Amino acid sequence: MNDIIDKIKSSGIGKVEENVSLKKYTTYRVGGTARCVVYPKNVTRLVLLIKILKSSNVKFKVLGKGSNLLFSSKDYDGILIKLNEFDNIEFFGNNKIRVGAGFSLIKLSMLAAKKGLTGLEFVSGIPGTVGGAVFMNAGAYKSDMGYVIETVKVLTPDLKVIRLENKEMNFHYRTSFLQKHPDYICLEVVFKLRKGKRESIEEVIAERKARRVISQPLEYPSAGSVFRNPEGEFAGKLIEDLGLKGMVKGGAMISDKHANFIVNYKNAKSEDIKYLIDLCQEKVLEKYNIKLKCEQEFVNWE
């Protein structure tokens, strides 16, 4: 691995960090140590990086803000790729935004509001990147990315850059083409919004923020909602009705404010969180014959 890292450094791909705690890269603030994190400067450097990694058979993963990931406590012996440099943004036409995959969702929603563009209010509380949100088809308040995206620029497995139209992205509830084809990498997105009044848009964002403070355990590290809501049901209510709200395992807890959140309230380990996720799934299946689908991705557990 040292030879590969030296080659990446000498190739001028971008900033390289070695032996860093994954607690820095996930909103759960848990995980082992990552051998190497690379920040490619642009698409050309990203392609070069992937060529190097594939030719050496080194595993890699692209990270956003880590808001839907649960790494194990084991060391990650591959390369993590952060697209922070993919942060270009351009407003064009009357209602469109072209923005890089590494751009902050929360920042994007605020900039759109200032421009009097409505449609992105639902992401104003999601601590992720544009690319991560496209991958997950992030959503809230009865909206999701599929409603506001026009096109997505991606890097294909054979390292070609192409654009996919909205219908090609196959957006459905918390899923997309990218989830089913993880070898594709989101590079850039074009959003198509609607004109609105800045004051009204900012009022909606402020009202929803106030509601989140009351209803969600924002004072602790978490990854947001743990489970997708089953059709016609609310995952949090199912868990709460089973008496699991407030249950503790090590430093992790099923939030006593919202049962569909698991929080790191006291230096939790990844395994503490995973235990509570598994417990909720097991008990809900046993009682209601409903298999809760986890929104989080489990990394480095094999």
SS3 labels along the chain: CHHHHHHHHHCCCEEEEEEEEHHHCCCCCCCCEEEEEEEECCHHHHHHHHHHHHHCCCCEEEECCCCCEEECCCCEEEEEEECCCCCCEEEECCCEEEEECCCEHHHHHHHHHHCCEECCHHHCCCCCEHHHHHHHCCEECCEEHHHCEEEEEEECCCCCEEEEEHHHHCCECCECHHHHCCCCEEEEEEEECEECCHHHHHHHHHHHHHHHHHHCCCCCCCCCCCECCCCCCCHHHHHHHCCCCCCEECCEEECCCCCCCEEECCCCCHHHHHHHHHHHHHHHHHHHCCCCCECCEEECCC
Phi-psi region at 167: left, alpha or beta (left = phi > 0; alpha = psi -120 to 50): alpha
Q: What is residue 93's predicted lDDT score, i.e. its pLDDT? A: 96
Does residue 127 contact residue 106 with C-beta atoms inside 8 Å?
yes
Task: State which residues of the chain have pLDDT below 50.
Answer: none
Does residue 109 contact residue 140 with C-beta atoms inside 8 Å?
no
- Whether the CA torsion 217, 218, 224, 229 is positive or negative: it is positive
Cβ neighbourhood burial of 297 (10 Å; 0-12, 13-18, 19+): middle
Instruction: From the candidates 67, 72, 176, 225, give the one annotated as an active-site residue.
Output: 225
φ, ψ dihedrals at 91, nearest 5°: -95, 130
The domain ranges of the chain are 2-82, 89-201, 216-299
Concerning whether 295 is annotated as a catalytic residue, the answer is yes
Instruction: From the candidates 18, 85, 150, 174, give the one annotated as an active-site residue.
Output: 174
Q: What is residue 75's predicted lDDT score, i.e. its pLDDT? A: 96
Does residue 123 contact residue 59 with C-beta atoms inside 8 Å?
no
Concerning whether 29 is annotated as a catalytic residue, the answer is no
Concerning whether 174 is annotated as a catalytic residue, the answer is yes
pTM above 0.85, yes or no: yes
Instruction: From the candidates 121, 188, 222, 295, give the one annotated as an active-site residue.
Output: 295
d(CA 152, CA 84): 17
d(CA 123, CA 110): 10
CATH of domain 2-82: 3.30.43.10
Q: What is residue 274's predicted lDDT score, i.e. its pLDDT? A: 98
Q: What is residue 117's predicted lDDT score, i.e. its pLDDT? A: 98
CATH of domain 89-201: 3.30.465.10
CATH fold label, 216-299: 3.90.78
Q: What is residue 267's predicted lDDT score, i.e. its pLDDT? A: 97
Q: What is residue 47's predicted lDDT score, i.e. its pLDDT? A: 98
Tokens 């082992």 sit on residue: 32
Q: What is residue 295's predicted lDDT score, i.e. its pLDDT? A: 93
Residue burial 186-211, b: 16+ Cβ < 10 Å; e: rest: bbbbbbbbeebeeeebbebbeebeee
